Amino acid sequence: MSRTPHHPTREQIELPMVLDCLSDPTRLAIVYQLAQQERVSSELRCGDFNALSGKSNLAYHFAKLRECGLMQTRIVGTSRLMRLRREDLEARFPGLLDAVIKSAAKDADRLQLMSECDVVEVD
């Protein structure tokens, strides 16, 4: 297990990879939830997404989201804290992330996004 997962630099973020990442319902739900959380803490743990799929499948999607530059992972103890790379994405593709998140919000009932109460805040 590498100490720090690999992340692309801002300039290495590619549009087709980002769109492909966002096109998967599970990953879109992850990104959406991270965006919702931004108002509160901007970071979530892997376990906060357990309602979406099994652990190993989530790890697969987390890796994809990291590799395409959508999110960043920080290791803290036995947990990994993840956040959206908002600034980098906004610099590379202005308005794109917001447009996707707003579109997802509009279709929240169609997409199997987690409900707000599925995310339990740790005190």
Partner DNA sequence: TCGATAGTTCAATAAACATTGAACATAGGA
Partner DNA sequence: TCCTATGTTCAATGTTTATTGAACTATCGA
Tokens 């987390």: give the residue.
62
Contact region with a second copy (CB under 8 A), list: 9-17, 44-52, 53-61, 76-84: 9-17
Please state the closest distance from residue 49 (CB atom) to a second copy, in A. Answer: 17
Structure tokens that stand for 34 in this block: 């991270």
Nearer to a second copy, 23 or 41 (CB): 23
Nearer to a second copy, 8 or 25 (CB): 25
φ/ψ of 83, rounded to 5, equals -145, 155
Count of other CB atoms within 10 angstroms of residue 96? 15
Structure tokens that stand for 69 in this block: 């530059």
Task: Give the footprint of DNA on this chain (CB under 7 A).
Answer: 1-2, 5, 20, 24, 26, 45-47, 53-64, 73, 77-80
